[in-house]
Structure 1
């Protein structure tokens, strides 16, 4: 496995941990921690709270490993579990309403490489996109984040958000329609969005 683990790699680790392989649990955590922390930070600005919830998810997986089925989408399963854990524990901690989550900081979201290596136009488009994303509904922003920032499938997003796949498609289509209406002529909106998935 490389730096990024494929779905089949994660499924293999999951199968191994079901057979009491603690090393596979450790690798699963290492490969998915950044993804989970990034998603968790969309709901809370309390880093310790996010870390505790991630740890709780993996503790629960280890405790119930014998009865868990290897999921079709380990990433989807982990993000769903984290979201639920954060909601359940949120009343006791600094829960941030989802409405305030997707005010992306362009300086944080845009790689310095774009600016340093002469890609100012891309950086400008990304800033514009971030400002337009702030105008979408909270559900639209969450679907956009999961689809284009985390590169998850429609079914994975449906599982995470606890809605149907058709609802995900509808929300995504409405979000893209809204962005197209707001996006200035001459800018490549879809190219900008798809560049996030790389």
Structure 2
């Protein structure tokens, strides 16, 4: 599979979003199928009510269709939609007086790392999950957005309404804790996380 640079992906997103705004139903289908699963999975981190989350995702797409002529531009559809679904679910929970259930526990690998993890010993995977799940909620949410949704620190800061440096500091602290706890699995850990770690790179991948 040919890997696209982020600049190419962003340009593609800009063109796809523009086409959707202009009424192209094929562009809408592409956006829907490319992002529905990620939006649903992220939504479930805020509510255990599967039906509520699924309805919110469907409602988000309906809103986009109704308002598409007046929507702003974006070169990152994933970021745009993740921000929108978080707001929508939290608002719905407040309206229905339901509990906000923040659940950023880890039980499966990001698809990005399937080739690395498919042959990994189950005991190693279980240990890593256990270590990650001992991190703070904020640390786990940032790791989730970075490694499961391929967002950079600036984009994560936008979703979480934090400044860039705060996100970077939280991530650095979290990865240091993970590295220390997983020192017996250091080679595997480096393959999984260090490629885009701000600890090991002089400049963050944008």
The TM-score, its normalising length taken from structure 1, stands at 0.80
Deviation, 1:29, is 0.8
Deviation per residue, 1:67-104 (Å, 9 max, x gap)? 22221321111000001111101132754522xx1332
Aligned twin of 2:171: 172
Gaps of 5+ in 1: none
Aligned Cα root-mean-square deviation (Å): 3.0
Q: How does 1:1-198 map to 2 (within 5 A)?
A: 6-91=9-94, 92=96, 95-98=99-102, 101-105=103-107, 108-109=108-109, 119-121=119-121, 123-188=122-187, 189-193=189-193
1:17–1:65 CA contact under 8 A, matched in 2: yes
Gaps of 5+ in 2: 197-206
Aligned residues: 187
SS at match of 1:43: coil
SS at match of 1:65: helix
Judged with a 3 Å threshold, the aligned counterparts in structure 2 of structure 1 residues 194 and 181 are, in CA distance, closer, same or farther, namely closer
CA distance in structure 2 between the aligned counterparts of 1:18 and 1:102, rounded to whole angstroms: 33
1:76–1:160 CA contact under 8 A, matched in 2: yes
Aligned twin of 2:199: none
The TM-score, its normalising length taken from structure 2, stands at 0.78
